[in-house]
Amino acid sequence: MSIRTLLGAAAGAALAVTLAAPAQAADYKDEYKVSTVVPAPFPWGIAAEEWAKLVAERTDGRITMKVYPGAQLVAGEQTKEFTALRRGAIDMAVGSTINWSPQMVEMNLFALPFLMPDYAALDALTGGPVGERLFEIVRENGVEPLAWAENGFREVTNSKHPIETPADLDGLKMRVVGSPLFQDTFTALGANPVQMSWADAKPALTTGAVDGQENPLTIYTIAKMHEIGQSYVTTWHYVADPLIFGVSHKVWETFTPEDKEIVRQAAIDAGAVGIAAARKGLTDDDTALIEEIEGYGVTVTDLTEAQRQAFVDATREVYDAWTDKIGADLVEMAEESIANR
């Protein structure tokens, strides 16, 4: 065999290997930016970091993701995250349904006051037809949804006194996220809601510019909010804050089918890690986080069914008004899923 023939055979073999290998596509980026609001050790940040780690491991470094917490990719304006993601200004995100609700009104479902009484109810929504429908809506809006994670049930805290009845909120200045539904809910309860980003919330609580706030207890403990006067906690499970792993369609369509599956499964696995972190110490068989909070000298109020019902009644008009905005069919589907959990 001549040298020319040997060289030709070698070149052909090399080409075959190149075509067969899952090599990085020419238009893959050196780094994919992932937006979140809070970093690890918050469960939100844990989920995002786990996603990036798993993708890097499973693609042998062909896809590199870097997490940018603090909503820094949108200059701290967390409610603008989805718009940036949809336009491709952000590659990926682990985003809050609350923060994405200005662009997709259906995401307000999880913020309907007192819709979900427990984790089983939340799982019935994210793991059932409601979750499937919401993913369809996200996809229709230019983002590929991959999996769910969790920021947790949002509980109420303040620096003044225990909150056991709606009257206890009367006149309190309460920091809320930038969502009209949260404004309506706290107004109905007699409070004075003040919208501000998370970046602005802690300084405002420290100075007493606002009296209280609502957030998952993992946020409360990791941010050491007991040290800034938030001495009263009420576990009322009034709304939950599921998170969605999303990829801009502009990025998603550049991935090979094999890499799409890797990125999606990594998100599912990371979501499970994040959910476990969000619920740790907050379940019926594990109350360690509640006990930790009480150990700081904080008063923790766990509402009775009758007490919780008073809050349900006080916010019913808000629930009904927002049902019309979100979509009665979707809300009915959610109520049925919870009833059958």
Residue 15 in any domain: the answer is no
Beta bridge partners of 65: 32
Is the Cα dihedral 177, 189, 225, 123 positive or negative?
negative
Helix, strand, or coil (residue 87)? helix
Chain position carrying tokens 């923060």: 99
Residue 206 in any domain: the answer is yes
Q: What is the CATH number of the domain that holds 67?
A: 3.40.190.170
Under the banding of pLDDT at 50, 70 and 90, the label for residue 26 is low
Residue 159 in any domain: the answer is yes
Total domains in the fold of the chain: 1
Beta bridge partners of 195: 176
Residue 32 in any domain: the answer is yes
| Structural domain for 174, as ranges | 26-339
Average pLDDT, stretch 226-233? 97
Burial annotation 91-103 (CB, 10 A radius, 16+ → b, else e): bbbbbbbbbbbbb
From the list 182, 202, 205, the residue with the least C-alpha distance to 192 is 182
Residue 327 in any domain: the answer is yes
> What is d(CA 157, CA 161) in angstroms, rounded to the nearest whole number?
9
> What is d(CA 202, CA 208) in angstroms, rounded to the nearest whole number?
10
Under the banding of pLDDT at 50, 70 and 90, the label for residue 25 is low
Residue 5 in any domain: the answer is no
Residue 171 in any domain: the answer is yes
**8 A C-beta contact, residue 190 and residue 318:** no
CA gyration radius, the chain: 23
Amino acid at 57: E
* Predicted confidence (pLDDT) at residue 14 exceeds the cutoff of 60: no
Residue 21 in any domain: the answer is no
Q: What is the pLDDT of residues 230-246, one digit of tens each?
A: 999 999 999 999 999 99
**8 A C-beta contact, residue 170 and residue 187:** no
Model pTM? 0.91
Residues 6+ apart with CB under 8 A from 229: 159, 205, 206, 208
